A = this chain, B = another copy of it.
Amino acid sequence: MRPTFLVLAAASLSATIVASSRAEEDAAPIFGITIPPGYREWKVISVAHEAGKLNDLRAILGNDIAYKAAREGQLPYPDGSIVARVAWGYEPLPESAEAFGQAQSFVAGKPTNVQFMVKDSAKYASTGGWGFAQFDNGKPASEAVHNACFACHAIAKGRDLVFNRYAP
């Protein structure tokens, strides 16, 4: 084996190790979920306003499997379903206040965080078949945050743990 090849092989191995530890760093604790590519362009299941302390506007998006299941009211959601909850600050729209003569239009401001539910009934059998993940500025939230997901979503157990219904 020529030295050049050995050097290249070592460089490649080292790149693999870096990529692998970066992937672990990017994965949510407990469930090991990473951000699904292209989720921002998924179809809309529903929209919502979370008042109270969170005070955000949100879109609930689905990959093709989840969107179809939601639209058709299919429960439980099939394996491969991913639901994305995108949220933004709740902000008044100045131009609209001018149009209506009062502040009454609230629009999406800066993004807050993104959450995902990933259906894999075997892998996530102990949490109702769903894995949960939250990312703040692209980085996974803490283990404590992820420990709370299933307990809260269990309230929606009659709807396979998904709070939102399809908005027709």
Contacts and interface: CB of A to CB of B under 8 A. Distances in A.
Contact of A104 (B44, B52, B96, B165): B52
A102 B98 CA distance: 33
Interface in A69-122: 86, 88, 90, 93, 95-96, 98-100, 102, 104-111
Interface size bracket, A side: 35 or more
A49 interface: yes
Given A95-B156, A163-B96, A57 B52 contact: no
Interface of A: 40-41, 43-44, 46-52, 54, 57-59, 61, 67, 86, 88, 90, 93, 95-96, 98-100, 102, 104-111, 152, 155-156, 159, 163-165, 167-168
Contact of A163 (B57, B95, B167): B95
A100 B52 contact: yes
A108 B163 CA distance: 12
A150 to B, nearest CB: 12
B168 A51 contact: no
